[in-house]
């Protein structure tokens, strides 16, 4: 900042015949060295702040998302969530420290340099600083336009990524219906919309940049004209004029950075608006239960439970459902597709909460149990389990702390995967598992088309609830609960229900499944009828 002042004094000294003094040279060198030192320290500090901010924001966003309810994930495309982590979090974390750095430095320098200009030549300073309000007006108009276009651009990018993800995930369906060209055309349309928005952003940026340069040039011409008059009249010296013009360049640059940084900060904040919405969103349902009884019997009761999905409130999935899952027994849920079996399981796992009625475990409503405790005791073994990246050990003990080696082996044996695991080179530390992970320490086990009796006989589960269409699996249960159109039609033992010739018998008489023989592939497959 002292460089232009010293330069002006040197020029005046040369003009008066005194020459360049050693003190003036020393002041210029000291000013440059101090500026370089403080700039380097400031840059390093903000780079460190940027890295810490990104780590903190990513962790906070991920922690907040994993605790959201299922309705949130079903209503939000996965590509949009991934875009927040891969694009918006880094962008926000860059803009906040960089913006703060630029704004604070430019604001301080603009005020100090502006004060020097007013002290040197008040009339010229007022004329030169006219660039500030005109630049602010120009930037404000540009920012309003850019924020709107930026939001549209983000929505278009998320739509394109979501379309690609859906096409890849459903490639078999696309191939079945020969819809490759339709998907290609849709993707082309999405990319074209992105391109149009990007071109519009760039064109408007070029236009507003041109307007700002015209304003700056006009102010510079007026300052030169007025300074020529003052120099001719002897109000200022050549050294003061040079110092003023150098300061004008600097203050113009600082004002430009100030305006650009502030507007860029607002634009990035608007682009990261979704992040703040996700962080402010509160998950539905009560997860603040505290009960952790030392022993559970595993007796489940559905009391007049009704449930409707938020996206289709006029069509209830469960209607006043009441039944029991007794401790020490294998209970099976049967019914045609769409009868509400999976929804009942989701309520029992507390993946959702009933709209009315209560689900009880040992006579206590599920929301009163501590979240992790409940999911250690009530375990779902899906027909096609999801395997996470990591070792076999990490997949089996997912969600469990301080798991013993004996419990790990017991779970693998119960899942029928022990022989496969022991035959692998790295055994438990192998990176991929083909066996079904078996949960440990469960009281109530929920199976899809699984062999249920062995879990009770081996003592690995106290109570088992099976969801199946297969007659062999259903006939092996102690009790059956038959659902139809979201209501309980009948309950009893398999023998009792067959003798009644009611809903359970109709389930197989009408052929809820058809058996198809495939030549050259699997010998036979059970497929649900539409």
pLDDT tens, position by position, 119-137: 888 888 888 878 778 877 8
Q: Do residues 334 and 466 lie in contact, with contact meaning Cβ atoms separated by under 8 Å?
A: no
* Residue 364, helix vs strand vs coil: strand
Residue of higher predicted confidence among 172 and 302: 302
Band of the pLDDT at 420, cuts 50, 70, 90? low
Q: Do residues 384 and 390 lie in contact, with contact meaning Cβ atoms separated by under 8 Å?
A: no
* Residue 490, helix vs strand vs coil: strand
Confidence (pLDDT) at 306: 93
Residue of higher predicted confidence among 144 and 347: 347
Residue 91 predicted with pLDDT over 90:
no
Alpha-carbon distance of 108 to 115, in angstroms, equals 11
Alpha-carbon distance of 329 to 479, in angstroms, equals 8
- For strands 378-381 and 444-448, give the pairing: parallel
Q: Do residues 189 and 159 lie in contact, with contact meaning Cβ atoms separated by under 8 Å?
A: no
Alpha-carbon distance of 28 to 60, in angstroms, equals 48
Q: Which of 467, 479, 259, 293 is nearest to 374 (CA)?
A: 293
Tallying the residues shown for the chain, one arrives at: 530
> Which residues lie across from 318 on neighbouring strands?
307
Mean pLDDT of the chain: 74
Residue 56 predicted with pLDDT over 70:
yes
56: exposed, middle or buried (Cβ count in 10 Å: 0-12, 13-18, 19+) = exposed
Percent of the chain with pLDDT over 70: 70
Confidence (pLDDT) at 522: 35
Q: What is the rounded average pLDDT of the residues 227-249?
A: 78
Band of the pLDDT at 514, cuts 50, 70, 90? very low
Residue 344 predicted with pLDDT over 80:
yes
Q: What is the rounded average pLDDT of the residues 385-401?
A: 53
Percent of the chain with pLDDT over 90: 7
**Pick from 13-27, 151-165, 172-186: least confident:** 13-27
- φ and ψ of 490, to 5 deg: -165, 155
Residue 192 predicted with pLDDT over 80:
yes
Q: What is the rounded average pLDDT of the residues 234-255?
A: 76
Residue 213 predicted with pLDDT over 60:
yes
Question: Which distant-in-sequence residues (6+ apart) come within 8 Å of 343 by Cβ?
Answer: 307, 317, 318, 352
Confidence (pLDDT) at 506: 83
Confidence (pLDDT) at 323: 92
Q: What is the rounded average pLDDT of the residues 16-32?
A: 59
Which domains, and CATH codes, for the chain? 2-144+203-280 (1.20.1560.10), 300-385+437-528 (3.40.50.300)
Confidence (pLDDT) at 153: 85
Helices (H), 330-400: 341-348, 371-377, 392-396
- For strands 356-361 and 364-365, give the pairing: antiparallel
Band of the pLDDT at 437, cuts 50, 70, 90? very low
Q: What is the rounded average pLDDT of the residues 243-256?
A: 75
> Which residues lie across from 300 on neighbouring strands?
325, 361
Q: How many CB atoms lie within 10 A of CB 278?
A: 18
Q: Please work out, in degrees rounded to the nearest 5, the angle formed at the alpha carbon of residue 15 by the alpha carbons of 13 and 18.
A: 40
Confidence (pLDDT) at 361: 92
Q: What is the rounded average pLDDT of the residues 513-519?
A: 35
Q: How many CB atoms lie within 10 A of CB 363?
A: 8
Band of the pLDDT at 357, cuts 50, 70, 90? very high
Tell me the whole-structure pTM to 2 decimals.
Answer: 0.53
Most confidently modeled range among 293-302, 377-386, 466-475:
293-302
Going across the sheet that includes 318-325, the strands are 318-325, 300-307, 356-361, 364-365
Residue 416 predicted with pLDDT over 90:
no
Alpha-carbon 120 to chain mean position: 54
DSSP code of residue 86: I
Q: Do residues 312 and 355 lie in contact, with contact meaning Cβ atoms separated by under 8 Å?
A: no
**Distance set, CA 501 to CA 469, 486, 511 (Å):** 17, 20, 15
Q: Do residues 323 and 488 lie in contact, with contact meaning Cβ atoms separated by under 8 Å?
A: yes
Alpha-carbon distance of 91 to 86, in angstroms, equals 9
Residue of higher predicted confidence among 94 and 206: 206
Confidence (pLDDT) at 520: 36
Confidence (pLDDT) at 290: 84
Q: Do residues 348 and 446 lie in contact, with contact meaning Cβ atoms separated by under 8 Å?
A: yes
Q: Which of 197, 184, 96 is nearest to 145 (CA)?
A: 197
DSSP code of residue 429: G
Band of the pLDDT at 307, cuts 50, 70, 90? very high
**Distance set, CA 422 to CA 62, 351, 386, 403, 510 (Å):** 35, 34, 21, 19, 45
Alpha-carbon distance of 338 to 321, in angstroms, equals 15
Band of the pLDDT at 9, cuts 50, 70, 90? low
């Amino acid at each position: 900042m002292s460089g232009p002042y010293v330069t002006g004094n040197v020029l005046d000294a040369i003009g008066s015949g005194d020459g360049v003094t050693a003190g003036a040279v020393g002041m210029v060198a000291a000013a440059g060295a101090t500026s370089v030192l403080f700039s380097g320290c400031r840059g390093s500090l903000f780079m460190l702040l940027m890295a810490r901010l990104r780590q903190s924001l990513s962790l906070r966003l991920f922690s907040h998302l994993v605790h959201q309810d299922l309705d949130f994930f079903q209503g939000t495309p996965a590509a949009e969530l991934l875009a927040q982590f891969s694009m918006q979090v880094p962008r926000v974390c860059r803009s906040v420290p960089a913006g703060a750095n630029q704004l604070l430095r430019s604001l301080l320098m603009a005020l100090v340099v502006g004060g020097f200009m007013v002290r040197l030549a008040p009339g010229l300073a007022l004329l030169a600083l006219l660039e500030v309000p005109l630049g602010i007006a120009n930037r404000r108009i540009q920012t309003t336009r850019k924020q709107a276009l930026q939001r549209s651009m983000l929505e278009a990018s998320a739509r394109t990524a979501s379309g690609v993800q859906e096409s890849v995930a459903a490639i078999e369906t696309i191939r079945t219906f020969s819809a490759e060209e339709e998907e290609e055309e849709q993707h082309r349309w999405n990319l074209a919309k992105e391109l149009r928005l990007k071109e519009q952003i760039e064109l408007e940026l070029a236009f507003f940049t041109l307007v700002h340069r015209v304003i700056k040039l006009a102010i510079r011409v007026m300052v030169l004209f007025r300074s020529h008059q003052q120099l001719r009249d002897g109000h200022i010296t050549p050294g003061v004029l040079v110092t003023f013009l150098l300061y004008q360049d600097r203050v113009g640059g600082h004002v430009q950075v100030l305006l650009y940084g502030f507007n860029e900060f607002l634009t990035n904040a608007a682009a990261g608006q979704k992040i703040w919405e996700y962080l402010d969103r509160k998950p539905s349902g009560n997860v603040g239960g505290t009960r952790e009884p030392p022993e559970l019997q595993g007796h489940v009761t559905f009391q007049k439970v009704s449930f409707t999905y938020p996206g289709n409130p006029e069509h209830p999935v469960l209607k006043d459902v009441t039944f029991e899952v007794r401790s020490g027994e294998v209970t099976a849920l049967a019914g045609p597709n769409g009868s509400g079996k999976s929804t009942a399981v989701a309520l029992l796992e507390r993946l959702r909460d009933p709209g009315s009625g209560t689900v009880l475990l040992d006579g206590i409503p599920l929301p009163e149990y501590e979240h992790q405790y409940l999911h250690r005791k009530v375990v779902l073994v899906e027909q096609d389990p999801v395997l996470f990246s990591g070792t076999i050990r990490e997949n089996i003990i997912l969600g469990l702390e301080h798991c013993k080696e004996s419990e790990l082996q017991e779970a693998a044996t119960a899942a029928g995967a022990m022989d496969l695991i022991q035959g692998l080179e790295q055994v438990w530390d192998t990176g991929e598992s083909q066996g079904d992970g078996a949960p440990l320490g469960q009281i109530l086990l929920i199976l899809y088309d699984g062999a249920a009796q062995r879990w009770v006989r081996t003592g690995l589960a106290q109570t088992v609830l099976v969801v199946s269409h297969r007659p062999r699996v259903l006939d092996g249960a102690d009790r059956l609960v038959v659902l139809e159109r979201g209501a309980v039609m009948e309950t009893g033992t398999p023998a009792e229900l067959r003798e009644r010739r009611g809903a359970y018998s109709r389930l197989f008489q009408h052929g809820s499944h058809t058996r198809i023989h495939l030549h050259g592939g699997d010998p036979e497959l059970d497929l649900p009828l539409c």
